[in-house]
Structure formats: structure tokens, C-alpha cells
Structure 1
């Protein structure tokens, strides 16, 4: 039985916990969740796992794997500690890995501790195809992300356009993955995951749209190279309480966990 922990208990952290508790993550036991305030009302329900606000207690819990579901700052704070304490790490705030120095430090610690850093497909599809294609030459990769204007509230998109007045799609960003993952840390982590699977942050092109004509979060990957060509589009139903993300992200984490204990692993 794999012993797991989660950093953060927001919308994603809670959904991941529910999936593990329901048995959808395979032979995994959720032991603890690291939260800021142990006694907050949202943690009042009876659970089989522990809510812990003391970092030392959490990281000394002999956990096999820890899932980061708390944002870029939390990943910077805790990622190295996760690995140094002997746990594998699942990263959701992938955009933080656009910091080359930080990413290289994590790789070094992971190798020293003989542990792995897992980056789920999360909100997109086809990372296995891109990673395989990157073993040859890839000429071009573009990610096109479209979300309803409400998903861009609280981002720099509000400086570019009056989101509530939009009646047609509006391009709020066009550039590369390194910049987009910094500008939209909660919404375009997919560009960072795609970059790591493929040809890097600088060469991965990104277009971001606020689109009032859609209700789902859509991501389209277009890539061309020695392997041929691929175009993959996904349409994700967003959380009502957090439209920047989707339930499929938590489900993707559950699949990563299930792969650890399943006799058959598909789609890697």
C-alpha cells in the first residue's frame, strides 16, 4: 500500500483526496494533508486522513509520495524538502519549473535521493506522444488555450480588455511558454508541461484567448517533426468554484498514483 500526502486542500487537493479515498487511485492510502490552519471550518468533516499544519510533522510522516496542489509559491517552499525526505513528488504547479535554477536543483536532489518528480498530463492530452517525438527532431509546437472570460479574472487579462464586455474571442497573450507560465500561473501550467515534454520553454509557442462563446476550457496542441504531425484538442469542464482549473487535473493525478501499484500501465 502506497502512503501518500497532499500539500494544499483547495479545490484540487480536496478532489484528489476524494479520489484516493474512493479507491480510484489504486492501492494508495492518503495519510495526511498539509494545510495552513489545522482547525479551519473547511477541515471539520471527519476524514480517515490527518490535517497537519506543522511542516516538520508532515514531512516526517514516512510518506512514499507527496502531491503538490497549492500553487507556485508552495512548490518553491516545499519541493526540495519533499525529495530530501525520501518521497516522490507529483507537481501540479508546473509553471514554476520554468525557473531553470530551481528546476535543476530539484533534479539534482531527486537523483541524489533516488526519487522521481512526476508531471501529470493534467488538463491536456498527448504528452506521451510529444515526449516520444522529442527523441527525434521536432520543428514546431504550438499550444492554443481558450477559456471563458470569467476564468481570466484576477490575471493580467484584466489590464488588456474589459472581460465582461467581450462578445467574441480576444487574444490576451501570444508568445512563448516561459513567459505565459509566469503570467498565468494558475491557468497555463499546461504550457510548462508541454515544454518539458517537448522542445523547451523558449521554443514552445503559446496563444491564450478569452472566449465568451465557450463554457469549457479548451487546449489545442499542434506539433510537427520527424515523427509526423499531430493536432490534439481537449475540452475540459471547469470547476464552478474555481473556473481556472478542471476535475480532469485531479483525475490525472489519481492515474499517476494508480500506475504505481497497477500490474498493467497504459499510456506512458
Structure 2
């Protein structure tokens, strides 16, 4: 065993010599795996500082613990707290789209680290992590659920339990791109349920839902409501990116 462990750094050095680490965004060579180069890091809008307690969007001014942004004050959120790793714009948007549509699985591990940092102050004991589900027809076309990949990577980083199929989509909803807030919520009504085989796992537990992007929050709301109907004690959410209004 010790011999195998000793080989690890040597093997990694060999791999790096043949395949030098590259920036996740621009592919420029970088010093280590799973990172961004300096310019791309500066162009990626990571969320830091004071945030809305329900969705994680940055807030400015005299912000108190538990404060919510205007959107989360005007829309009922069935979850307790929420966080996001970055804003859905510039390099951040490009990374989300690459993960979602271009089979960029090399992005998964660093995203797991980013999400782990984002949720550190809302983790609960014995929290169960679950992704927003895809309908099986979309899963067949895409071959993977990006929310499940990043959720599992994050759960591994924080030491939480993960359930890939805790939730199910009962019908193939249409794309929500370009739809109004009201249309988004209407389209998701009743479309997500708890997997009957997993219902016992969530009863009385805190659930942490993971998705790639939050716009209106309609998808996360449908998932949270399904969890609460199945007697989850509480639901929190985290997304890789949050769509925010321009300042």
C-alpha cells in the first residue's frame, strides 16, 4: 500500500509532463490542475461578501444576517436558505454552458470545490444532498445530469450523503428560456416528485438541493415543495450560478 501511495506524486508528475495542466476556461497552461489562470479568474464573477440568505446573490449596503434580496422578498421561497458560487455572466456563464452542453466533465471537480465553499455556512448535520432531476428523455439525449455531477462532487468535499435519484420529473417540461416568471412556475407545477424508493431517506432530514443555474427559482421551488410534502424537515439550495439583475 505504501508503495502505491508513493507512486502517486510520481505518476502525477509524469502525467503533467505529458499533459500540462490547463486553465478550465481559456486552456492556457497553469500551475496546477482544476484551476483558472489569473486573467480568467478575474473575469469570473465569484460571489463573495454579503449575500441574500435565500438565493446567494450579492447584496450591498447595510446587510444583516438573514436579509433577502428584492426577488426573494417578493416571491415565496419554500426553502430556508440558499447560496450560489458565481454570477451567471462572462466567464462564469461560459463555464456553466460548457458543463451543460459540451461534455466538459473536467469542470466538475473544481466546481465541487467552489460549491463546497459557498455552502459552508448553511450545512446541517446529516444533510442529504440531491440534484435537480432531468426527465428521462432529456437524460437520454444529454447522457448525464450536470447537476448530479456537481452535486456529487460537492457532497464528497463536505462529507455529506448524496442521493442521485431522490427526485424525479414526471413529465418532460419545455425549455424555460425566454419565459416569464409566471410561465416558469406554471410549467413546473406538479412536474417533480419524490422517488417512492427514496422517500424514507429524506423523512425528518435536511435536504440540500443542487442545480447549475437559478433564474426565477421555479425549478428549485418545485423540488423543495416535493421534499417538504414527503416530510423533509427542511430544504436548502445551492447553485453553481445565479442570474442577477444588473446593478
Q: Same fold (TM over 0.5)?
A: no
TM-score when scaled to structure 1? 0.24
TM-score of the superposition, structure 2-length normalised?
A: 0.26
- Larger strand share, 1 or 2: 1
